[in-house]
Amino acid sequence: MIAKLVFQTFVWFGIMGALLFVSAGTLHWTGAWVYMVVMVGLSLTMGVAIARRDPGLMNERLRPPIQKTQTAADKILLSILLLGIFGWLALMGFDVRFGWSPVSIGVQVIGALILLVGIWICYLTMLENSFAAPVVKIQDERGQKVITTGPYSYVRHPMYAGAILYFAGTALLLGSWLGLVLVSVFIVLLAIRTFIEEKTLRTGLRGYDDYAANVRYRLIPMVW
């Protein structure tokens, strides 16, 4: 499992790094190097910790992003989201190359902090929820149940809330205001995914309706 984690981490971020540096037309991009080092380091560190604490969850998270048991709507939306991420990274590389919307060093530092907060929220979510698979499905074989504690006591989809901060922080760290503006697309896609996921959970997971009635907010406490 650890070997698979290491392999997938380097393949995934290798592709992301190639998109960034090729589109930027240079390797002299401090923000991108900081992003790559931080993300690879945290992915491996947190991944190993989760694999040792909850191997069932890590097995789920290492599975392909498109699966047979996944809902059809989620297959379509997740494919769009993945393609959108690749295009977003390439566009930020071009932004840096041509200087369309430069970001100051101070804002890049703030972006790095936002990125870390987003990753921390995602990590706390995985520690709390052993069923936090990357695809929308009911894990009957693992005895999936409703999780109501930790981040789930504040919003119904804390992983998506963390992901939004991750996207925003990434754009600022990489030095692209344009990338930050395009994060709005990901927010819309994730918001749509909450409806897809909740339809599946309300239908197939006992107790989810009661949980949703008690925790009113999907992504942002006191907002939505």
- Distance, in Å, from the CA atom of 166 to the CA atom of 118, rounded to the nearest integer, reads 5
- pLDDT (mean) for 202-223: 91
pLDDT of 136 strictly over 90 = no
In the block, tokens 């930050």 appear at 180
Residue 77 has what pLDDT? 94
Residue 37 inside a domain? The answer is yes
Segments forming the whole domain that contains residue 200: 2-214
Residue 169 inside a domain? The answer is yes
- Specify the pTM: 0.93
Residue 167 inside a domain? The answer is yes
Q: How many domains does the chain have?
A: 1
Phi and psi at residue 65, to the nearest 5°: -70, -15
Q: For residue 177, which amino acid is it?
A: W
Confidence of residue 65 (pLDDT cuts 50, 70, 90): confident
Helix (H, G, I), strand (E, B) or coil at 71: coil
Phi/psi-derived region of residue 4, left when phi > 0, alpha when psi is between -120 and 50, beta in every other case: alpha
CATH number of the domain that residue 70 is part of:
1.20.120.1630
* Cα 198 to chain centroid, rounded: 18
Task: Select, from the ranges 70-79, 103-112, 202-211, the one with the highest average predicted confidence (pLDDT).
Answer: 103-112
Confidence of residue 82 (pLDDT cuts 50, 70, 90): very high
- What does the pLDDT look like over 170-183, one tens digit per residue? 999 999 999 999 99
Residue 84 inside a domain? The answer is yes
Six-digit token string for 104 = 């100051």
Mean pLDDT score of the chain, rounded to an integer?
A: 94
User: How many CB atoms are located within 10 Å of the residue 176 CB?
Assistant: 27
Residue 162 inside a domain? The answer is yes
